[in-house]
Amino acid sequence: MELTYQLALWLVRLAFLIVLYLFLVRAFASLWRALRTEAELASRPALAYLVVQRSHAHGPRVAERLPLRTVSTLGRDAGNDVVVNDDAASARHAIVELADGVWWIEDQRSTNGTLLNGARIGRRERIRDGDVVDIGGVSLRFESVA
């Protein structure tokens, strides 16, 4: 009886270790795939840029070129494609997207709003080369690559 109990306990421990190692292998494989995907996305050439025109001490550097993808989010949160470190910027402030060969910007119900060439936008607006986007105290000039 004692031997059967010890054998069962040993098998439970072994099963637990196997499940734990399988979990760790899957978790690291998932992390590796995510990092590889991010590296591939980062290596792709940008379709357009936002060039910093005006900033502050803790914001992006003036003249820094921030690359845009087909759909790019702008805001204070580190998960955005373009991070704007400004207290007046919302976590997810605006979206810039390329649709049918035309660039668009849309405010994401941010607290302080998004300005396009000095005018607050309330809906999706077309954005062209040279247009200036203001998010809080940061001004960004739009530059298309094509």
- Which position has the higher pLDDT, 35 or 112? 112
Fill in the amino acid letter for 34. Answer: A
Q: How confident is the model at residue 16 (pLDDT cuts 50, 70, 90)?
A: very high
The pLDDT of residue 94 is: 94
126/105 Cα distance (integer angstroms):
6
Q: Out of 21-25, 28-32, 51-55, 75-79, give the one with best mean pLDDT.
A: 21-25
* Averaged pLDDT, 82-111: 91
Give the chain's count of helices (H) and strands (E). 1, 11
Cα dist. 94→13, 34, 73, 119 in Å?
51, 24, 6, 15
Rounded CA separation 135/78 (Å): 16
| pLDDT for 26 beyond 90 | yes
Q: What is the pLDDT of residue 120?
A: 94
pLDDT confidence of residue 95:
95
pLDDT of residue 3: 73
Q: What are phi and psi of 116, to 5 degrees?
A: -120, 115
pLDDT for the residue 136:
87
